[in-house]
Amino acid sequence: MGRTAGERLLLPLLLSWILAISVLPMARLALEGVAPSLPGAPPDLALRVFSDPRVWRAAWRTLIVASAATALSALIGTAAALALGLCRIPARRMLTFLFVVPMLIPPQIAALSWISALGPSSTLLNAIGLAPPLGARHPLYGPGGIALLLGVQHAPLVFLPLMAALRRFPAGLVEAARLAGAGRGAVLQGVVLPLLVPALAGALALAFVAAIGNFGIAALLGIPANHTLLTVLIWQRLAGLGPAGLSEAALLSLLLAALAAAALWAEARAGRRSRRFITAGATAPAPKLALGPWRWAVFAALVFYLAAVLALPLASLVATALVPAIGVPLTLATVTLRNLETVLFVQQNTALAFRNSLALSAAAAVVLVGLALAMVRVRLAGVVRAMIDLPYALPGVCLGVAVILVHLRPLPLIGVSLYGGLGLILIAYLARFQSLALKPIAGSAARLDPALEEAARLAGAGPLRRLITIALPLLAPSAAAAGILVALAALNEITVSILLYAAGSQTLGVVVFGLHDGGAVGQAAAVSVVGLALVLGLMGAASLLARRLPPGTLPWSA
């Protein structure tokens, strides 16, 4: 069925939006990297930047840390996917949900919780007498700690694609191997793992891109150890030089984008190979392997891992927020709500950051869900979908620099400047999270029966009436889930915000970073606890919709 007149009118408007919000910033970033045009940029800028040993040291450190983190993510994510996707494990759904949670915890909150948990001033460890001696170097500061936290946080990026592959696994191969007398180990080694290699390769590429683009963990754990990665170096150049360093930041962003592009190319190739094996025949969920008494050992190992990476650091974060000063043991006599009261009701900066982040996340969710509903009506081409995906696929620091380049000068005709305001952060959020809003709604729209709208059209219903009475009620659960996912991503975002904020436009992620950097660790923990509670609340709201959503819409509903 061809496009209606309304859809033909809507299509150029949507294309103009996509070009302005996604393509223009990235094109401007590339242009500034190739031919610097900002005032004060020397003609030999590229030579100066790429002859600076600090740049290549940061790039080399980024590669090493990201590779180590990706290897750890592969180990953790693969083991968990095989256990929860292939074996009969008690409480499988709950364990799957908990395994995905680290990915949804904002990186600056994850870093702060681990710093609070394992350092010499750890409230919990001091309470039980196991804290390192005062003055000792924090064990997480430096490349090892960065790689550890990135590996844990991005393990779900490996876990989820493997779980999806196991859901579409050629189940007959496993059954045939079992009937031929192959044991569990032989089935795993000879049948399952070889067929999961394409999905694993794509997942590793995604984990690598996420690792090289992370700012929160790289900054909080790298700066104290003077171990600077590329994302932190870009921020330092902008913070130290302001607009004068923008051309240099653009060049460094293109270097980071080149690393990401290589990984995304590998992911695309792996994705094509994975689809070839999946479509080679009828597929069904692979039969679960019975582990006998070993299932309790596997269950205990998963519970221990989740306790170590979730319960311990998050409990330490809460404990740090509930004591009057860093290093004070947590007892009934020392528990206080002073930090929470201060950040919520006393300090104007933190109260303003809460309002800003809530307003930005709500606005981004509403706008992007509305745009996604319009986009599924006009059935965008694959190349247009790729344009939408680009700002989300590349590291956030690249988008942040690109948005600054486009909006550094006042808008033409009206003469209004967005630089340093909430409007600029909102524009960056709309570009970055547009893909996140579109995918759940597009997945649900693809499952709608076109005969419903065709029957309504033949009965005389116009485009608007068909949208309101047929499409919207059926797409409402996915639209709500998409809005929640956008709000989850935007609420505590830091990588883009740290480059774009100014006085009065700080967000929760920026405030957490600033409080910790300024030594107000208890208040930083309090802001993090409230931000984390909001994240968990949004996850709970989305989970209520899970039964009405297509499989895989929510990352934790695998």
Q: What is the largest CA-CA distance in the chain?
A: 78
How far CA 182 is from CA of 173, 174, 177, in Å, comes to: 11, 9, 5
Grouping H, G, I as helix, E, B as strand and the rest as coil, residue 289 is strand
428-454: b (≥16 Cβ within 10 Å) or e = bbbbbbbbbbbbbbbbbbeeeeeeebe
| Predicted local confidence at residue 271, as pLDDT | 61
| Predicted local confidence at residue 186, as pLDDT | 63
pTM: 0.88
Q: Which residue has the higher pLDDT, 545 or 174?
A: 545
| Predicted local confidence at residue 288, as pLDDT | 64
Where does the pLDDT of residue 279 fall: very low under 50, low under 70, confident under 90, or very high at 90 and above?
very low
Residues with Cβ < 8 Å from 425, sequence gap 6 or more?
Answer: 360, 496, 497, 500, 501, 505, 507
Where does the pLDDT of residue 43 fall: very low under 50, low under 70, confident under 90, or very high at 90 and above?
confident
| Predicted local confidence at residue 463, as pLDDT | 62
Residue 183 clears pLDDT 70, i.e. is over it:
no
Q: Is 331 exposed, middle or buried (0-12, 13-18, 19+ CB in 10 A)?
A: exposed
Q: Scan for tokens 């795993």, then name that residue.
A: 188
Pick the range with the lowest mean pLDDT from 81-85, 159-163, 266-270, 384-388: 266-270
Mean pLDDT across 190-211: 82
In whole angstroms, give the CA distance from residue 477 to residue 211: 32
pLDDT in tens, 464-488: 666 677 777 888 888 888 899 999 9
Q: Is 346 exposed, middle or buried (0-12, 13-18, 19+ CB in 10 A)?
A: exposed
Q: Where are the alpha helices (DSSP H) in 19-89?
A: 24-34, 45-50, 53-86
Residue 243 clears pLDDT 80, i.e. is over it:
no
pLDDT in tens, 63-115: 999 999 999 999 999 999 988 887 888 888 889 989 999 998 999 999 999 99
pLDDT in tens, 419-460: 778 999 999 999 999 999 998 888 888 777 777 766 766 666
| Predicted local confidence at residue 244, as pLDDT | 60
Where does the pLDDT of residue 274 fall: very low under 50, low under 70, confident under 90, or very high at 90 and above?
low
- Which tokens is 332 given? 């009934």
Where does the pLDDT of residue 289 fall: very low under 50, low under 70, confident under 90, or very high at 90 and above?
low
Picking from 310, 303, 302, 297, the residue whose alpha carbon sits closest to that of residue 79 is: 302
First to last CA, the chain: 34
Pick the range with the lowest mean pLDDT from 327-331, 355-359, 489-493: 327-331
Mean pLDDT across 31-57: 81
Residue 245 clears pLDDT 70, i.e. is over it:
yes
pLDDT in tens, 356-410: 999 999 999 999 999 998 888 787 777 888 889 889 988 999 999 999 989 888 7
CB 58 within 8 A of CB 143: no
| Predicted local confidence at residue 142, as pLDDT | 95
Mean pLDDT, rounded, of the chain: 84
In whole angstroms, give the CA distance from residue 372 to residue 439: 8
- Which tokens is 88 given? 């009969």
- The percent helix, strand, coil of the chain (3-state, each to 5) is 75, 0, 25
Give the number of other CB atoms < 10 A from CB of residue 264: 20
The region, left, alpha or beta by phi > 0 then psi within -120 to 50, assigned to residue 287 is beta
Residues with Cβ < 8 Å from 346, sequence gap 6 or more?
Answer: none
In whole angstroms, give the CA distance from residue 7 to residue 467: 12
